[in-house]
Amino acid sequence: MQKKVLAIIASVFLSAIFLVQCNSNDDNGSADPVIGTWKLVEVTQNSQQVAVSSCDLMEMYIFGGDQFSHEIYSSASGRYANVAQDDDDDEDSDDEESDDEESDDEGSDDEGSDDEGSDDGEDDGTDDGGTGGGVCVLTETQIGNWVNTGAAYTLEQNGSTQNLPIHFTDNNTRFYYEVTVGGTTTRYIFQRQ
């Protein structure tokens, strides 16, 4: 009789534990791997790693269920200019170079080689190249909607559409996309936060 009672007790509680586990709130299927917060961690050009300023490394994508945000930072006295697409801005960098000469900060280390390097899109980039001015400033914020078309992610913002061919690596903890201009392929690699 006692064994029977103890057996009943054991089965009741094992059932309870099982029920608790079964009815606990399960995750909703598998979410799109792009959902999350991503920060730029690396840039390569033609498979060669290039130095990236600390301001550039503040570039961030945040993907929600259907919206995304994208922020770009630059140095207060420099610019985000380590890719070829910024050629038009390179002329202006000459003026900023002169500003660096006049400043007392250690950006004077940059006044020669680094800025000229950035003019050609070959910023050999000291790490403090982007912070020569001292602080990073948010220069652009985009908020829009995204759609996964299967082949790429389509980002829509203010009526304009951009296709972002995102490739996931490292068990979906990193993604990259590539931009090819004039024979130079630049790869932007983001890390999940």
Partner 1 sequence: MQLNYFYYLLILFTVGANSQQDSTVVFKKRVLETTEVELLGSYYKQEGVHSAVGGGLGTEELTDATSDIVISVPLNDDDVLTFNAGFSAYTSASSGNINPFFTDGTNMNPTGASRRMYSANRDDDDDYEGSEDGSLPYGSPWIQSTGASNKDVLVSGRLGYSHSSDDRNSVYRAHVSASTEYDYGSFGFGVGYTRLFNEKNSELSFDASAYLDKWKPIYPTELHEYATYGSNFLDSGYFNGVTVYDQNGEANRDYFPINFTEFDAKNRNSYSFSIGFSQILTKKIQASVFVDILYQQGLLSTPYHRIYFADRANYYIGKVRYIPVYDSSQNLGVYRLADDVERLPDTRFKLPVGLRMNWYATDFLILRGYYRFYFDDWGILSHTASVELPLRLSQSFTFSPMYRFYTQSKSDYFAAADRHFSFEQYYTSDYDLSSFDSHQLGCGLTYTDIFQKFKIAHLGLKNIDLRYQHYERNDGLSADIMTLALKFIH
Contact set with partner 1 (CB under 8 A): 1-2, 5, 9, 12-13, 16-17, 19-20, 23-25, 36-37, 60, 62-69, 71, 76, 135, 137-138, 141, 143-144, 158
Shortest distance in whole angstroms from residue 173 CB to partner 1 = 15
Shortest distance in whole angstroms from residue 3 CB to partner 1 = 11
Please say which residue, 8 or 181, places its beta carbon nearer to partner 1: 8
Please say which residue, 187 or 192, places its beta carbon nearer to partner 1: 192
DSSP the chain: -HHHHHHHHHHHHHHHHHHHHHHS----S---TT-EEEEEEEEEETTEEE---TTGGG-EEEE-SSEEEEEEEEESSS----SGGGHHHHHHHHHHHHHHHHS-SGGGGGTTHHHHHHHTT-----TTSTTTTS-EEEEEEEEEEEEE-SSSEEEEETTEEEEE--EEETTTTEEEEEEEETTEEEEEEEEE-
Please say which residue, 23 or 48, places its beta carbon nearer to partner 1: 23
Shortest distance in whole angstroms from residue 193 CB to partner 1 = 8
Please say which residue, 113 or 162, places its beta carbon nearer to partner 1: 162
Shortest distance in whole angstroms from residue 122 CB to partner 1 = 29
Please say which residue, 121 or 132, places its beta carbon nearer to partner 1: 132
Shortest distance in whole angstroms from residue 113 CB to partner 1 = 27
